[in-house]
Structure formats: C-alpha cells, structure tokens
Amino acid sequence: MMYKNKVQRCDDRIVSISQPHVRPIIRGKQNKNVEFGAKLSVSLTGDKIACVDECRWDAFHEAQDLIPQVEAYKTRHGHYPEKILVDPAYGTRVNRQYLKEKGIHYAGKPLGRPKKVTETNKAQLKQEKQQRHDDYTQRIPIEGKFGQGKNGYGLNKIKAKTAKTSYAWINSIFFVMNLLVLAEVFHLPGIIEHIVELYRALFCKKG
C-alpha cells in the first residue's frame, strides 16, 4: 500500500505479531518519543476513588472523553460534579460550553487574550490567578494515582498478551488501589496487608 500510493505512513500498522492490538503512541517525552501500551482516561473523585472510564490502544485526544466521563459521574452518584479539575488539554470550546450548560465550574484559564491589568481589576485578577493555582494543585492526587499504580503495582509493566486480559489486569490494579482507600476510610489496617499480599500473589509472580 505504501509503495503503490507513494506514502510513508501506514495507519494501524502491526508493530507486534503476538499483540496486533498494540499501537505506537507519539508522546514527545524526553528519551521516550514513542510509547506502546494502553492509553487510559481515569477520573478521581473527592474521596480518592479512581474510575477507569476509557482504555484504548490507539492514540486519541483525551479531551473527547470529558463529556462521557462527566455523564458517567452523574450515573454513579446521581448528580453532576460541582467542579472539574483537568489538564489544560481538556479545555476545548465544546467542553467549556458543555460544562457551562450543566452549571459545572471549569478550573482553568479562560479562553482569549488575558485581561489588561488596571487598578480597578488588579485585586480580582490576582484572586482569580491564585484560585486557578489552588485548583491546579488539587490535580496532584490523580497524577499520584498513576505513580502509585506504576511504582507499586506494575501498571507500566502489564504482561498480559491479549487486549481483554490487559484490560482486566489494568482494572484490577485500580480496583486494589480503591480497596486500599476504602480500608483506610473504615480503619481496617489488617485488610490492607491482605489486599496487597493477594494482589502480589496473583499478578506479581516472578517470570
């Protein structure tokens, strides 16, 4: 196809014979321009419970998942969230308009050019900037959840061969981390040790 059409691109090309569902994902990170593996859209509630809303193997823009995630939140809890704390990439016009219609506060910079600072609005703009900073720092737990999954439970070392078993493995990791949160809430320290031991026995065997 590439030879006949004289192109240097092949969409959805197979990069692994044993795992044909795996796709290269351009990340642009230092020393790791391309990554291979599942790409997740995960939401975190104020109670630190994580939900894997999307798990796909192709490259996609996370912003398209915001509306389904908010609707999923409403289905789970019976109401829309009061505030959305997301990466700036989610702040598209479509998403902002949707959140505005639902009465949900979007914690991010407004679109357009920054307002000119005057003596009249100086204090207000400073307060809004501080509020955005505070909102941004509240996103740290979701980043930490990925770090916890990778460093403590091998989220970045999934060894399953099929897409379905990989999906089950990924969800089991978040399930265990949620159980640990619930164990802390209900003050069950002994349960935490048993949960960790059970997970490692099932998924962290050598070889």
pLDDT in tens, 137-159: 777 888 888 888 888 888 888 88
Report pLDDT for 67: 93
Strand partners for 56: 39
Report pLDDT for 68: 92
CA distances from 168 to 65, 100, 150, 152, 190 (A): 20, 35, 16, 17, 26
Task: Judge contact between 65 and 53, C-beta under 8 A.
Answer: yes
Spatial separation of the C-alpha atoms in residues 49 and 174, rounded to whole Å: 9
3-10, long-range: CB < 8 A, 24+ apart:
none
Output DSSP code: residue 157. -
The amino acid present at 133, given as its one-letter code, is H
Report pLDDT for 207: 41
If DSSP codes are grouped into helix, strand and coil, which group holds residue 106?
A: strand
DSSP sequence for 23-86: -EEEEEETTEEEEES-EEEEEE-TT--EEEEEEESS---GGGGHHHHHHHHHHHHSS--SEE--
Report pLDDT for 71: 94
Report pLDDT for 44: 87
Report pLDDT for 95: 93
Report pLDDT for 203: 61
User: What parts of the chain have a pLDDT lower than 70?
Assistant: 27-30, 188-207
Spatial separation of the C-alpha atoms in residues 147 and 153, rounded to whole Å: 9
